[in-house]
Amino acid sequence: MLREAFPGLNNTVHGKPLVYLDNAATAQRPQTVIDAVNNYYLHCNANIHRGVHSLSEQATELYEQARMSMQKLINANSHREMIFVRGCTEGVNLVAQAFVRNRVGAGDEILISHLEHHSNIVPWQIVCEQTGAELKVIPMLQDGSLDISQLDNLISERTKFVSVVHVSNALGVINPVKEIIAKAHQHDVPVLVDGAQSTPHLQIDVQDLDCDFYTVSGHKMYAPTGSGILYGKEKHLDDMPPWHGGGEMISKVTFEETIYNGLPAKFEAGTPNIAGGIGLGAAAEFLMQAGLENIERRDQELKAYGEAKLSQVEGITIYGNVADKAPVFAFNLEGIHAHDIGTIIDHEGVAIRTGHHCTMPIFQFYGVAGSCRASLSFYNQETEIDQLVDALQKARNLLL
């Protein structure tokens, strides 16, 4: 029934039914999200927070309801801790510039992991260039897991911030973020968790994790592109200066001074992606109605089936062979370039991702330029994994 909620899965590619296995890049949208966006544009298209007319009030209510839905989804303590952003990239950059930059200097260290997406590497390199701080990296092991045994050596009095991905977009590996957060907090070091890939797959409880910041990208969790949330503990957000200046984030402006608005408006300058935010709220409601526990169970069924089937393909190398992972498979076929595989199986209707997946350091570790990546959602089926395997066999027969 849940699969039927996604009309985009009914498309055809090259005359064949679509097999969509690129969910780590962006997921399909359920009809409820599409309807929520359409409803805004059709029936209450107006700017929010600033109008007393009916359309503006209706739009404002829908937008703020979406904030509350996201608060409930990740179990934040207050709606004041929920900042609308365009996605995880903007959320990380906001924290890097408004929270971390003024708290580090020469000799200080920022700690990330080897499994990070470029959007959780480059912002910290920029901060290090600006301040003289140094970037440290939790190393990875051959199976794709992090070498957590190195944490005690890496976290010290010089460590001022930790930023780590919850689920690897390239390998699907689920990192022990709660353990990392606890170790960091023993040294009074705040932690940001990149939740781009975890929110669609796992039950997230930011209070239980005790993370200081958590980022969410809407388009990974069945919401519109350009939507997302930065969660931050209220005490941190209160202490942070605004990152963008403009309308909405002010309470008073004169030519002599500006008094900033309270949370969450302080970080939401300008007219936002209203439709995207409303769609994000609809996606959160969809996930909660579907039940994250059901999604986790389905993910593990697909992961087990995918591992068994893909391992039968001759010449295949699968990266990230750990038990605790999402249904994401990064692989190469011996003697065949990943781009050639992706192009050929596209003609079989199978959509996967090829390249380095914005995680160049991971594939440098494995000594390859990149990989194919099949990333599944709960709406995928075992028969689609079979179709992927059949398409890979055809590619192999054609190219070797």
List the catalytic residues.
358
Nearest C-alpha neighbor of 348 from the set 23, 21, 13, 22: 13
Question: What is the CA 393 to chain-centroid distance, rounded?
Answer: 31
- Please state the length of the chain: 400
Cis peptide bond prior to 264, omega within 30° of 0: yes
Rg, Å, the chain Cα set: 22
User: Among residues 2, 41, 21, which one has the least CA distance to residue 279?
Assistant: 41
Q: Phi and psi of 372, rounded to 5°?
A: -80, 150
Distance CA 371, CA 332 (A): 5
d(CA 328, CA 389): 15
d(CA 227, CA 163): 21
Report d(CA 233, CA 221) in Å as an integer: 22
Q: What whole-number distance in Å separates Cα of residue 308 and Cα of residue 316?
A: 12
